[in-house]
Amino acid sequence: MPDMDILADQYLHYILVEKGLARKTITAYSRDIVRYLTFLKKNRIHGIEKTDTRIILQYLIHLRNQGLGTSSRARHLVTIRGFYAFLVQEKHIPKNHAKLVDLPKKHVMLPDVLSAAEVRNLLEAPVPKTPSGARDAAMLELLYAAGLRVSELIHLRLMDVNLEGCFLRVMGKGSKERIVPFGSYAKNKIDSYLETARPALLKGRISAYLFVARAGKPMTRQGFWKLLKKYAQKCGTLKRITPHTLRHSFATHLLEGGADLRTVQVMLGHVDISTTQIYTHVAQKHLREVHKKYHPRG
């Protein structure tokens, strides 16, 4: 049996090369495994074959005592499950003891969602008379129209956008590609931005990116956060608006309008439909409020 650290390196190489997971995900998995192996060594367990379900449960209790919340402990267990599954696959151990351990129960955290009117006010906040204003208007409109993550938005390239067909090619988490449609509002604002605003911002430079900032480089996440905060203050909403708020609103408004969960899952780029199901709670909450407000016996 190889050393535990060697097995961990083999697993991380496997999920990088074979699974194609994102670098950030690999880094998170690496931290989790190192923490688990450190726990084993401190408890004088120097071989992964000497672990069992009881040890894994002890580790989760240890994490709780260290102050880790439910979501963090669940993530650690998911990492350990994947590690053990790999070891079973490679015939280093006969059984995945982590499969017998249930994920810690967690409360469903409902994301903040804007109403259709609040979204409209936010999207109309930029003044498109200036090059940066036209760019900001197009960025906000597209973020909501396609339900993009902010990282996906700022890294969009010109070649990823089909204005005639009104769809985007998006590279999401784990280098997973998906095709997402967008509507006429976004198309019109992108057309306007590309016609005069983008050339004005580039000042003769060449860039492969759709949305450009200084020196033709893509906007940073921090830069987009700042402009979004500015427009949120301008439209006067009291809600805390983040880039993810528009993604949440996109999914919720689709479900409220009658879209099926599977379609929304594909457009959001969720691998697991359970991730998308959180939006059904938001939609159901909205429907209950509408029923209570408008039904004569509500």
Q: What is the dihedral of CA 261, 267, 271, 276, to 10 degrees?
A: -40
Catalytic residue, candidates 187, 247, 248, 253: 247
In terms of residues, how long is the chain? 298
Catalytic residue, candidates 75, 173, 234, 281: 173
Starting from the edge strand earliest in sequence, which strands make up the sheet with 161-162, in order?
A: 161-162, 167-171, 177-181
Q: Where are the beta strands (DSSP E) in the chain?
A: 161-162, 167-171, 177-181
Other CB atoms within 10 A of residue 94 CB: 9
- State the DSSP string of 101-128: SPPPP----PPP---HHHHHHHHT-S-T
Catalytic status, residue 173: yes
Catalytic residue, candidates 36, 144, 193, 279: 279
Catalytic status, residue 149: yes
Catalytic residue, candidates 149, 187, 189, 248: 149
Catalytic residue, candidates 97, 187, 198, 270: 270
| CA 37 to chain CA centroid, nearest Å | 28
Residue 150 near residue 130 (C-beta atoms within 8 A): no
Please give the structure tokens belonging to residue 260.
């099926």
Residue 150 near residue 218 (C-beta atoms within 8 A): no
Catalytic residue, candidates 13, 106, 244, 292: 244
Q: Report the catalytic residues.
A: 149, 173, 244, 247, 270, 279
